[in-house]
């Protein structure tokens, strides 16, 4: 198979991913092999490549928003048939027996393993995963459109839940519930479609005019460059950008009793905060850690019902470094997708 391989972490400007020809992987007991049709490019991939997640000391094939067709099954694998279209996401293994797993919080499992980090991912023509960690893909999406659902969508969906959002009653005269999104990249452009479907008024904060325009096109009632310009205080907020200084700004613009979710796997340092200004009046701050398989199932069902229409920009597999550089410099509208 062909794969873009990371042998040393480095700034993506140095093009650290190199195309290799490798043996096709063989599925083990309970596993399926997927012929990759498309793989989304995620900010977490950038954190892996540039070493902001702890380097593992060995070669890595990034990529965890994978859509393709099952082309081989390992012994005992029976959930899917060859030819079925499936997705592979970030979470690829949990122990199943620890307290977190038994309580339905497998995203906190101490023995969790992740696609494109602990095991080879989708910046390749083939990928392998245990069948229990693969997902059927809704038929109303193309391969490229489906990829961002498998991380940006799942994490965005869990972030909505961690921000205490859910479907709203549409009774006439009810006070609108408001949601602010800080950073309007891959996750946010999916989240806004779900939030609008659920009945929220959405406000978007992004430094990029192109992203502000997209937010308005997707139904935001306001979009601007700074939290300081928000015209209202909101009931719910999600910080997608990995920028610690946004946290106190978001809390300052949260209603009493409101909830802020922090969606990133990595974030720069959060500045000191004032208790009364930022945290008093029962404001809530919830971090987000990976996802459960149930989150993925719920997100895919919701995305099909909305229906969510992700915005994508495709690149050939060999241009993975370029796609990550465009992501780093906010030059991608929606999600970048690699096509092997």
pLDDT digits (tens, 9 = 90+) for 12-27: 999 999 999 999 999 9
Is 3:124 a contact under the CB 8 Å cutoff? Answer: yes
**pLDDT attached to residue 151:** 93
Cα separation, 198 vs 147, in Å, equals: 22
Residue 181 domain-assigned (yes or no): yes
Q: Alpha-carbon Rg of the chain, whole angstroms?
A: 20
Question: Could you tell me if 239 and 325 lie in one domain?
Answer: no
Question: Could you tell me if 54 and 82 lie in one domain?
Answer: yes
Question: Could you tell me if 16 and 47 lie in one domain?
Answer: yes
Residue 201 domain-assigned (yes or no): yes
Question: Could you tell me if 135 and 8 lie in one domain?
Answer: yes
Q: How far is CA 192 from the centre of its chain?
A: 14
Question: What are the structure tokens assigned to 210, written together?
Answer: 């192109």
Distances (CA, A) of 139 to 53, 151, 180: 34, 18, 31
Question: Could you tell me if 163 and 266 lie in one domain?
Answer: yes
**pLDDT tens, position by position, 145-190:** 999 999 999 999 999 999 999 999 877 767 899 999 999 988 999 9
Q: What is the CATH number of the domain that holds 173?
A: 3.40.50.720
Question: Could you tell me if 130 and 167 lie in one domain?
Answer: no
The total number of residues shown for the chain amounts to 340
Residue 294 domain-assigned (yes or no): no
Mean pLDDT confidence for 136-146: 93
Per-residue pLDDT for 11 more than 90? yes
**pLDDT attached to residue 265:** 84
DSSP summary character for residue 115: B
**pLDDT tens, position by position, 212-254:** 999 999 999 999 999 999 999 999 999 999 999 999 999 999 9
Question: Could you tell me if 112 and 225 lie in one domain?
Answer: no
Q: What is the CATH number of the domain that holds 7?
A: 3.90.180.10
Among 64, 63, 49, which residue's Cα sits nearest to residue 7?
A: 49
**pLDDT attached to residue 268:** 93
Question: Residue 146: is it exposed, middle or buried by C-beta count within 10 angstroms (0-12/13-18/19+)?
Answer: buried
Question: What are the structure tokens assigned to 309, written together?
Answer: 């229409």
Question: Could you tell me if 161 and 137 lie in one domain?
Answer: no
Residue 40 domain-assigned (yes or no): yes
Question: Could you tell me if 120 and 164 lie in one domain?
Answer: no
Residue 77 domain-assigned (yes or no): yes
Cα separation, 205 vs 212, in Å, equals: 7
Cα separation, 338 vs 14, in Å, equals: 19
Cα separation, 18 vs 24, in Å, equals: 17
Task: Work out the percent of the chain whose per-residue pLDDT is above 70.
Answer: 100
**pLDDT attached to residue 334:** 86
Give 15-18's long-range contacts (Cβ < 8 A, gap of 24+): 15/321, 16/49, 16/321, 17/49, 17/62, 17/123, 17/320, 17/321, 17/324
Domain span at 81: 2-141+310-339
Question: Could you tell me if 66 and 176 lie in one domain?
Answer: no
Question: Could you tell me if 162 and 238 lie in one domain?
Answer: yes
Residue 147 domain-assigned (yes or no): no
Cα separation, 184 vs 281, in Å, equals: 28
Residue 161 domain-assigned (yes or no): yes
Q: State the total domains in the chain.
A: 2
Residue 243 domain-assigned (yes or no): yes
**pLDDT attached to residue 167:** 95
Indicate if the alpha-carbon torsion angle 76, 82, 84, 85 is positive or negative. Answer: positive
Question: Could you tell me if 165 and 254 lie in one domain?
Answer: yes
Is 40:65 a contact under the CB 8 Å cutoff? Answer: yes
């Amino acid at each position: 198979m062909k794969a873009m391989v990371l042998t040393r972490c480095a700034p993506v400007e140095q093009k650290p991913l190199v195309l290799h020809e490798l043996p096709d992987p063989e599925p083990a007991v309970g596993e399926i092999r997927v012929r990759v049709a498309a793989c989304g490019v995620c900010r977490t991939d950038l954190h892996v490549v540039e070493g902001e997640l702890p380097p593992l000391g060995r070669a890595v094939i990034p990529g965890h928003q994978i859509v393709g067709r099952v082309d081989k099954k390992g012994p005992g694998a029976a959930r899917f048939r060859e030819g079925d279209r499936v997705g592979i996401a970030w979470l690829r293994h949990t122990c199943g027996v620890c307290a977190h797993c038994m309580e339905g919080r497998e995203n906190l499992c101490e023995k969790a393993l992740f696609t494109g980090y602990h095991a080879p991912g989708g910046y390749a023509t083939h990928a392998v995963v245990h069948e229990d960690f693969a997902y059927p893909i809704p038929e109303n999406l193309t391969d490229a459109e489906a990829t961002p659902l498998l991380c940006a969508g799942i994490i965005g969906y869990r972030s909505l839940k961690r921000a205490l959002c859910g479907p709203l009653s549409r009774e006439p005269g009810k006070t609108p519930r408001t949601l602010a999104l800080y950073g309007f990249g891959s996750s946010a452009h999916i989240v806004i479609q779900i939030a609008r479907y659920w009945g929220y008024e959405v406000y978007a904060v992004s430094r990029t005019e192109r992203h502000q325009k997209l937010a308005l096109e997707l139904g935001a009632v306001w979009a601007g460059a700074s939290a300081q310009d928000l015209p209202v205080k909101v009931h719910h907020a999600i910080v997608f950008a990995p920028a610690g200084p946004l946290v106190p700004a978001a809390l300052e613009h949260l209603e009493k009793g409101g909830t802020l979710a922090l969606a990133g796997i990595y974030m720069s340092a959060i500045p000191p905060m004032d208790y009364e200004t930022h945290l008093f009046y029962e404001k809530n701050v919830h971090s987000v850690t990976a996802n459960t398989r149930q989150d993925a199932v719920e997100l895919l069902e919701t995305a099909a019902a909305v229906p969510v229409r992700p915005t994508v920009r495709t690149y050939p597999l060999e241009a993975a470094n370029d796609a990550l550089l465009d992501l780093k410099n906010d030059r991608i509208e929606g999600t970048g997708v690699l096509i092997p």
